[in-house]
Amino acid sequence: MKYFKMNGCGNDFVVLDARAAGALQLSPEQAQAIADRASGAGCDQVIALERSIRGDVFMRIWNADGGEVSACGNAARCVGWILMEEGASKSGVKIETRAGLLHASAAPGGGIAVDMGSPLLKWEEVPISRPMDTTAIDLTIDAGLVTIAKPAACNMGNPHVTFFVEAVESLPARLLGKRVQANEALFPEGVNVGFAEIKGPDRMRLRVYERGAGLTKACGTGACAAVVNACRRGLVDRSVAVEVDGGELLIEWGADDRVRMTGPVALERMGDLPKIPRRDE
């Protein structure tokens, strides 16, 4: 089966083209094998392109640990690029996901923009296991010399919390992210953990520890969530350049309540994987 190895700001994917074959039956072990950086194609997420009735394509997503998730903003930008290279209108393509329809389009300078929809802000929509104010949830993580507390939370197709800190680079982000994710009593579906340093009303530095992938070079839904959460706390304006390990994303939370993300994509290589069984086999 044909695959594209791509990345959006360093957040990398193996994109499998299954449109001719039908829906894929990937076990967690198969997804892990493909994502393995030592013995497989290597990626943060495995993506399958499948036929869609509602959109131009259906995008199925597995994290590197083999778990299937609902949305991935940087992957949507890569998939949008593939469709446009195939001849789809650069003014917009519709990508169906488990979280709903995403709209991707070409942006000035060669980037790809994607409309991620409206954030979900209620505690039960994140979801969190009990009622609380999602602008500053009741959570403190102590990691020896570092204590972080009161993150904001929202759902951008995936659940996210964002901690606002003085200096991202000095944080043990991997350790802290693991500690937060281990709190299954508070986050029944797990959670992605962002650490944001506000540099100004229109700029922030962000690192994200993702469910099933760990610390990544970029997380599109995490960048969207960080801007929404910071804006709700009065820390930034509604258009913010987000510096991630792999580059820079522009996040805009419009007056229409929709969050739009723009950034670069790159095709690293193309290749073929062995036959993968379909769901109906």
- Among residues 72, 78, 154, 231, the one annotated as catalytic is 72
219 is catalytic: yes
**Location of structure tokens 């929509």:** 125
224 is catalytic: no
Cα 13–Cα 113–Cα 3 angle in degrees, nearest 5: 25
- Among residues 154, 219, 224, 231, the one annotated as catalytic is 219
CA distance 230 to 237: 8
Cis peptide, bond prior to residue 127, ω within 30 of zero: yes
Residues contacting residue 83 through CB under 8 Å, at least 6 positions apart: 56, 57, 93, 95, 104
**DSSP line for 44-91:** SEEEEEE--SSSSEEEEEEETTS-EES--HHHHHHHHHHHHHTT--TT
Show which residues are catalytic: 72, 219
